[in-house]
Amino acid sequence: MKWRITALLAGVAAAAATTATIGFAGEASAATAPCSTAAKACVQLHTGKAWLMDHGSVLRGAVPITAGKPAFPTPRGTFRVQYKDIDHYSKQFNGPMPYSVFFTTTGVAFHQGSLKVQSHGCVHLSHADAVAFYHALHPGDVVEVVK
């Protein structure tokens, strides 16, 4: 009986160590967000990743994204959140854009969308990430989009 308890405890300790190692690895990659400390949201197009930030510290991310297709690229640069619409519908592209956070004056936004299909310039996020970005970002917040 003592052997079984010892084996069980050893297994729990190994699992905890593995979880801690995975947690540290995630934190290490999150710490490498490629944007300035002014950014509240950071998008890196070539890796297909985004982060929510606070004065240079990562709050969420890196999370997977899809961005604009070649004919409709997501613009690079520094922007400010313009407005938010939890239940936006695009008349131009005839489709829903839930949890939209618009950060350009030309209609480019973070929103819930397919992570397998490129957009018409917007940044697609999973449902959970779109909800998080929607609640964390506010008009005036800085969004940086880098290569």
The per-residue DSSP string of 22-81 comes to HHHHHHHHHTT--S-TT-SEEEETTTTEEEEEETTEEEEEEEE-B-B-TTSPPPPEEEE-
Q: Indicate the helix (H) or strand (E) that contains 102.
A: strand 95-102
pLDDT digits (tens, 9 = 90+) for 95-144: 999 999 999 999 999 999 999 999 999 999 999 999 999 999 999 999 99
User: Across residues 58-70, what is the average pLDDT?
Assistant: 97
Q: CA 80, CA 58: separation in Å to the nearest integer?
A: 18
| Band of residue 31 on the pLDDT scale cut at 50, 70, 90 | low
User: Across residues 59-81, what is the average pLDDT?
Assistant: 97
Share of the chain above pLDDT 90, in %: 78
Burial of 72: CB neighbours in 10 Å, binned 0-12, 13-18, 19+: middle
Evaluate if residue 15 carries a pLDDT over 50: no
Q: Do 139 and 82 contact (CB within 8 A), yes or no?
A: yes
How do beta strands 142-146 and 41-44 pair?
parallel
User: Across residues 51-55, what is the average pLDDT?
Assistant: 97
Per-residue pLDDT, 16: 40
Evaluate if residue 18 carries a pLDDT over 80: no
